[in-house]
Chains A and B, each alone.
Chain A
């Protein structure tokens, strides 16, 4: 099994849930399909969806909710 890395396409704040009161989009262990939303990046008060770019199972998140992230940083790993 190969590990696929989901990377940040822009700098900002990474969120794992749509709003503070909602549950996370995905948890480690969840299966995902290409195109599924797994988080948000807030850059200068505008929000951009982070989508899984492979089918498989999320093995881990590499960035925490509300963590400051840089472009190219690994956000999650998917076992494909």
Chain B
């Protein structure tokens, strides 16, 4: 390892995770922090800590100059951006490289290319990765568009190119409906946005969110199998698993191969995730986007494959080749992660930035708790509500769910309201037990089961 000191440009549970990986690799750690995070666990665990600004993220964790000044002052030779904040900011990656510091992640150019929806979709298509079928850009003649819609297969979503907030969107179930609805969508979009341009996209009903973890060193590219994150509230994942119980070995092989093809096409360097929608009925999968960073839910992949994803990221940033070859990657058993957020599920997930009370951390076989907590810690109200992630693994999915319930039962945080009761309730729900879920499953379930979400 030629790197000696790594600066963590993040906070919370992921900062703790990065510090642990770096320390195990023999690196010194520098934690930057806002004035609101002086008492954070990450600041206490790091070898050095530098205050970089006031609580508001824009003036601290998002301040590129302040982060670089802290790196310069402490002599850090690597910066890990974690997730969120500056993690997918191409200009930040460029600025870090220009300062002669190793950015733990891909180059600014790769972040730029995969961050833009249109260029990422193009890269995916070129690499032979299936994208959601639709029109290539704006549709012109209505009759031609209807023919295309028939080719894609109904139902088809008619969307306004200038759209937003659901306006200008229609779903056509047949050619007749299409000819009636498309002009309506166009005039609505025209009135709302001053642009009546439309495009078509296939409606994928009952889609699962499935994503593939990839690793690259710029020359070698591997996958570490998939995760399923179909349980979402307001497009936020709350429960993640690996592997996906919905995939056959054949689909899994094709899905993972497509992710490796895309990683290779952009000569990826670091850890990344390629997200797909998976259509249960047809067995087809479609590229949605790529995340060029470590993800919140990475521990489920670590649990089933035994790979330390954070360590691999740092080693690749050091210029080393990947330490594992594809043929060495296998998975065993089943892992589930749930997000313990400072939100009150009984009060419509109202944020609850309280004080950590009598902290009891779950333990025993197959239990991992990645978190930012200690007894008496005042949770700052300024950042996202993720306190920690409870990860369990077992031989089978069924046993993992039993273990999850047992582990949540052990978790104690005093009077702090968290999302923990939600997971106890979900672990007893037939659709969850059988894995019959999709990305639109959780929200209606929450509305119908609010009585099950109060703590004790």
Contact = CB atoms under 8 A, between A and B. Distances in A.
B382 A68 contact: yes
A69 to B, nearest CB: 9
A66 B95 CA distance: 26
A66 B353 contact: no
Given A10-B381, A13-B382, A44-B383, A68 B353 contact: no
B58 interface: yes
A46 B36 CA distance: 18
28 contacts: A10-B351, A10-B381, A11-B381, A12-B381, A12-B382, A13-B55, A13-B56, A13-B382, A43-B351, A43-B381, A44-B342, A44-B343, A44-B351, A44-B353, A44-B383, A44-B384, A44-B385, A45-B351, A45-B383, A45-B384, A45-B385, A46-B350, A66-B56, A66-B58, A66-B59, A68-B35, A68-B55, A68-B382
A43 B36 contact: no
A45 B350 CA distance: 11
A13 B60 CA distance: 14
A5 to B, nearest CB: 21
Interface of A: 10-13, 42-46, 66-68
Contacts of B36: 68
A13 B58 CA distance: 11
Interface string B384-395: 110000000000
Q: Interface on chain B toward A: helix, strand, loop, or mixed SS? A: loop
A13 B381 CA distance: 8
Nearest to B34: A68
Nearest to B57: A13
The 6 closest A-B pairs by CB, nearest first: A44-B351, A11-B381, A68-B55, A44-B385, A43-B381, A43-B351
Given A43-B381, A45-B385, A11 B56 contact: no
Contacts of A13: 55-56, 382
Given A10-B351, A68-B382, 7 more contacts: A13-B382, A45-B351, A45-B383, A66-B58, A68-B35, A68-B36, A68-B56
Q: Interface on chain A toward B: helix, strand, loop, or mixed SS? A: strand
B54 interface: yes
A67 B36 CA distance: 12
Interface residues of B, number: 17
A7 to B, nearest CB: 16
A41 to B, nearest CB: 9
B55 A46 contact: no
B55, B342, B383, B384, most chain A CB atoms within 10 A:
B55
Contacts of B55: 13, 68
Contacts of A10: 351, 381
Nearest to B236: A45
B122 to A, nearest CB: 30
A8 to B, nearest CB: 10
Contacts of A44: 342-343, 351, 353, 381-385
Contacts of B381: 10-12, 43-44
A46 B55 CA distance: 16
Nearest to B351: A44
Interface string B344-382: 000000110100000000000000000000000000011
A10 B352 CA distance: 10
A38 B380 CA distance: 24
Interface string B105-138: 0000000000000000000000000000000000
A15 to B, nearest CB: 10
Contacts of A12: 381-382
A66, A67, A68, most chain B CB atoms within 10 A:
A68
Contacts of A46: 350-351
Contact of A68 (B54, B342, B384): B54
A11 B54 contact: no
B221 to A, nearest CB: 34
A26 B353 CA distance: 28
Contacts of B56: 13, 66-68
Interface string B1-41: 00000000000000000000000000000000001100000
A40 B358 CA distance: 33
Contacts of B382: 12-13, 42, 44, 68
A11 B58 CA distance: 18
Interface string B137-170: 0000000000000000000000000000000000
Contacts of B383: 44-45
Given A10-B381, A68-B382, A43 B353 contact: yes
Nearest to B341: A44
A36 to B, nearest CB: 23
A48 B256 CA distance: 42
Nearest to B385: A44
Nearest to A66: B56
A45 B353 CA distance: 12
Nearest to A67: B56
A52 to B, nearest CB: 22
